[in-house]
Structure 1
Amino acid sequence: MPYEEETTMLARTLLAVVALAIPLAVVPPAVADTPPTDPAAAKSVTLITGDRVTVDGDRVGFEAGPGRKDVRYVTEGTKDDWTLIPLDVAGDVARGVLDRSLFQVPRLIAAGLDDGSVKGLPLIVQYRDGAAPKTSLAGARTLTSINAVAATAPRERAVWAQLGQDSSVAKVWLDAPVKASLDRSVPRIGAPEAWQTGFTGEGVKVAVLDTGVDDKHPDLAGRVEAAQNFTDSEDAVDRNGHGTHVAATIAGQGAAGTPARKGVAPGARLLSGKVLDDRGSGNASGIIAGMEWAARQGAKIVNLSLGHPDEPGLDPLEQAVEHISADSGVLFVIAAGNDGPGASTLGSPGSADSALTVGAVDSEDELAGFSSRGPRVADFAIKPDLTAPGVDITAAQAGTTGHIAYSGTSMAAPHVAGAAAILAQQHPDWTWQQLKASMVGSVKPGGPLTDNGAGRVDIAKAVKQTVAADTGTLSFGHLRWPYDDEPIERTLTYRNSGTAPVTLDLALEAPEGVYELGATQVTVPANDTAAVTVTAQVKSSRPGAFPGRITATGGGVTVSTLVNLSTEVESYDLHVKMIDQLGTVPDRPDDFMPMTLMPEDGGPLISIGVNHGDSEGPVRVPAGRYLAYAVLRTRFPDGHQELSVVPVPGLEVKADRELVFDARDARLQNVETDHDDARTAGETFTFIQDRQDGRQWGARFSLDRFSLPRNVPPDPLRFRVSPTKGKARGFRFEMFSQLAALRPDGTFTDTPYQYNLLLRREGSVPGALRVRDRELGTVRAHLATLRADATGAFGAGPVTDGPVGSYTSWSQAVVSLPATPTWYFTPGVPWRRSIETMPSGRLHQTDEHAEADSYRAGRTEKERWNTGVVGPALPGNATVTRNDKAVTIARVPLWHPPLPGRSLMSSNYGGGTTTLLRDGQVVGTADKLPGTVAFPVESGPGRFQLVLDGTVSPSASELSTKVRTEWSFTSSGAGPVPLFVLRASPELDLHNAARPGVLVLPLRLERMTGATRPLSRIGVEVSRDGSSWRKAIVVPTGKDTWKAIVPILPRQGEFASLRLTARDTAGNTVRQTVERAFRVR
Structure 2
Amino acid sequence: MRVPKGDYTVSGVIHPYYSSATHAVLMQPKLRVDADTSVTIDARQAQPVEITVPDAAAENTEAVIAVGFDRAEGLRKGSLEYILPSFQGLRVGQLGSELPADQAFAQYFGDWTRQDEEGRPVTYHLAWNRTGRLGGFTAEVERKQLAKVDLQAGVAVADRKVQVEVSPHTPDGDLAFGYNDLRGVLPLRTTDYILDNGVPWSLRMWQTSGEGRETRWESFLMRMPRTWEAGRTYHERFNVGVFGPFLPGPGDAGPERGYPGAVRAGNVIRAYLPLFGDGAGHWGSSDYTAAESSLLADGKEIPDDYGFPPTEGVTEYTVPARGSTYKLTLDNSRDPAVYPVSTRVRAEWAFRSGETPEDEWTALPLSVVRFSPELTLSSTAKAGKRLEVPFTVVGAAAGQRPQKLAFEVSYDEGTTWQPTKAIGGTHLSLTHPAEAGSVSLRAKLTDRQGNTLVQTIERAYLTR
The two structures have a TM-score, normalised by structure 2, of 0.69
Name the residue aligned to 1:785.
155
Name the residue aligned to 1:879.
262
- Alpha carbons 2:127, 2:199 under 8 Å: kept: no
AA partner of residue 124 (structure 2): Y
How much has 1:779 moved relative to structure 2? 1.4
What secondary structure is seen at the aligned counterpart in 2 of 1:735? strand
Distance 1:776 1:974 in 2: 46
1:678 aligns with 2:58: yes
AA partner of residue 775 (structure 1): Q
AA partner of residue 912 (structure 1): A
1:1030/1:928 Cα in 2 relative to 1: closer, same or farther (>3 Å)?
farther
- Alpha carbons 2:402, 2:447 under 8 Å: kept: yes
- Alpha carbons 2:274, 2:285 under 8 Å: kept: no
Higher share in strand: 2
- Alpha carbons 2:372, 2:389 under 8 Å: kept: yes
Name the residue aligned to 2:102.
none
- Which among 954, 961, 965 is matched to residue 347 of structure 2? 965
- Alpha carbons 2:397, 2:447 under 8 Å: kept: no
Name the residue aligned to 2:424.
1036
* Structure 1 segment 614-629 matched on structure 2, within 5 A: none
How much has 1:905 moved relative to structure 2? 3.1
Question: Which ranges of structure 1 fall in alignment gaps of 5 or more residues?
Answer: 1-95, 97-311, 314-376, 379-602, 608-628, 650-655, 691-696, 705-713, 744-749
Distance 2:237 2:316 in 1: 33
What secondary structure is seen at the aligned counterpart in 2 of 1:774? helix
How much has 1:765 moved relative to structure 2? 6.2
Name the residue aligned to 2:124.
755
- Which among 130, 150, 165 is matched to residue 795 of structure 1? 165
How much has 1:827 moved relative to structure 2? 0.9
- Alpha carbons 1:871, 1:896 under 8 Å: kept: yes
1:975-1034 Cα deviation digits (max 9, x unpaired): 897654322122223222223311111122234489998323412313243323344332
Name the residue aligned to 1:823.
192
1:390-416 Cα deviation digits (max 9, x unpaired): xxxxxxxxxxxxxxxxxxxxxxxxxxx
- Which among 420, 429, 435 is matched to residue 1045 of structure 1? 429
- Alpha carbons 1:915, 1:922 under 8 Å: kept: no
1:813 aligns with 2:182: yes
Name the residue aligned to 1:208.
none
How much has 1:824 moved relative to structure 2? 0.6
Distance 1:864 1:1074 in 2: 20
1:999 aligns with 2:382: no
1:963/1:924 Cα in 2 relative to 1: closer, same or farther (>3 Å)?
same
How much has 1:823 moved relative to structure 2? 0.8
How much has 1:1044 moved relative to structure 2? 0.9
Higher relative contact order (CA 8 A, sep 6+): 2
Distance 1:972 1:797 in 2: 36
1:980/1:771 Cα in 2 relative to 1: closer, same or farther (>3 Å)?
closer
How much has 1:812 moved relative to structure 2? 1.4
1:834 aligns with 2:217: no
Distance 1:1009 1:797 in 2: 31
User: What is the identity percentage for the equivalent residue pairs of Structure 1 and Structure 2?
Assistant: 23
1:985/1:764 Cα in 2 relative to 1: closer, same or farther (>3 Å)?
closer
How much has 1:684 moved relative to structure 2? 1.1
- Alpha carbons 1:751, 1:821 under 8 Å: kept: yes
- Alpha carbons 2:26, 2:41 under 8 Å: kept: no
CA RMSD between the two structures: 5.0
- Alpha carbons 2:120, 2:189 under 8 Å: kept: no
1:955/1:633 Cα in 2 relative to 1: closer, same or farther (>3 Å)?
farther
- Which among 329, 346, 349 is matched to residue 947 of structure 1? 329
* Structure 1 segment 911-926 matched on structure 2, within 5 A: 911-915=290-294, 923=301
* Structure 1 segment 228-247 matched on structure 2, within 5 A: none
AA partner of residue 1046 (structure 1): L
1:868/1:939 Cα in 2 relative to 1: closer, same or farther (>3 Å)?
same
- Which among 870, 881, 895 is matched to residue 276 of structure 2? 895
AA partner of residue 830 (structure 1): V
1:241-270 Cα deviation digits (max 9, x unpaired): xxxxxxxxxxxxxxxxxxxxxxxxxxxxxx
Name the residue aligned to 2:42.
661
1:1061/1:632 Cα in 2 relative to 1: closer, same or farther (>3 Å)?
same
- Alpha carbons 1:794, 1:835 under 8 Å: kept: yes
1:766-805 Cα deviation digits (max 9, x unpaired): 6975434333121122323354332222222333438xx7
How much has 1:670 moved relative to structure 2? 7.3
How much has 1:759 moved relative to structure 2? 4.8
Distance 2:353 2:7 in 1: 57
- Which among 118, 135, 141 is matched to residue 771 of structure 1? 141
Name the residue aligned to 1:853.
226
Distance 1:658 1:948 in 2: 57
Distance 1:764 1:1068 in 2: 50
Name the residue aligned to 2:453.
1070
The two structures have a TM-score, normalised by structure 1, of 0.33
1:658/1:936 Cα in 2 relative to 1: closer, same or farther (>3 Å)?
closer
Distance 2:364 2:156 in 1: 33
AA partner of residue 1019 (structure 1): F
1:699/1:722 Cα in 2 relative to 1: closer, same or farther (>3 Å)?
farther
Distance 2:69 2:353 in 1: 57
Distance 1:819 1:955 in 2: 21
1:1078/1:925 Cα in 2 relative to 1: closer, same or farther (>3 Å)?
farther
1:679-734 Cα deviation digits (max 9, x unpaired): 222111368999xxxxxx99855337xxxxxxxxx77xx8852378xxx9959986
* Structure 1 segment 184-203 matched on structure 2, within 5 A: none
- Which among 309, 312, 316 is matched to residue 929 of structure 1? 309
AA partner of residue 847 (structure 1): F
Higher share in helix: 1
AA partner of residue 1034 (structure 1): A
What secondary structure is seen at the aligned counterpart in 2 of 1:982? strand
AA partner of residue 291 (structure 2): G
* Structure 1 segment 218-367 matched on structure 2, within 5 A: 312=2
- Alpha carbons 2:153, 2:188 under 8 Å: kept: yes
How much has 1:874 moved relative to structure 2? 4.1
- Which among 403, 420, 439 is matched to residue 1056 of structure 1? 439
Larger Rg: 1
Distance 2:190 2:401 in 1: 43
- Alpha carbons 1:631, 1:645 under 8 Å: kept: yes
Distance 2:79 2:270 in 1: 42
How much has 1:825 moved relative to structure 2? 0.9
Distance 2:346 2:386 in 1: 25
- Alpha carbons 1:1020, 1:1034 under 8 Å: kept: no
* Structure 1 segment 353-392 matched on structure 2, within 5 A: 377=4
How much has 1:912 moved relative to structure 2? 0.9
- Alpha carbons 1:740, 1:751 under 8 Å: kept: no
AA partner of residue 309 (structure 2): L
- Which among 17, 23, 32 is matched to residue 644 of structure 1? 23
**Equivalent residues, number:** 412
AA partner of residue 348 (structure 2): E
1:934/1:1049 Cα in 2 relative to 1: closer, same or farther (>3 Å)?
farther
How much has 1:1064 moved relative to structure 2? 5.4
AA partner of residue 909 (structure 1): Y
What secondary structure is seen at the aligned counterpart in 2 of 1:821? strand
1:389-446 Cα deviation digits (max 9, x unpaired): xxxxxxxxxxxxxxxxxxxxxxxxxxxxxxxxxxxxxxxxxxxxxxxxxxxxxxxxxx
1:966/1:683 Cα in 2 relative to 1: closer, same or farther (>3 Å)?
same
How much has 1:756 moved relative to structure 2? 0.5
- Alpha carbons 1:796, 1:832 under 8 Å: kept: yes
1:987 aligns with 2:368: no
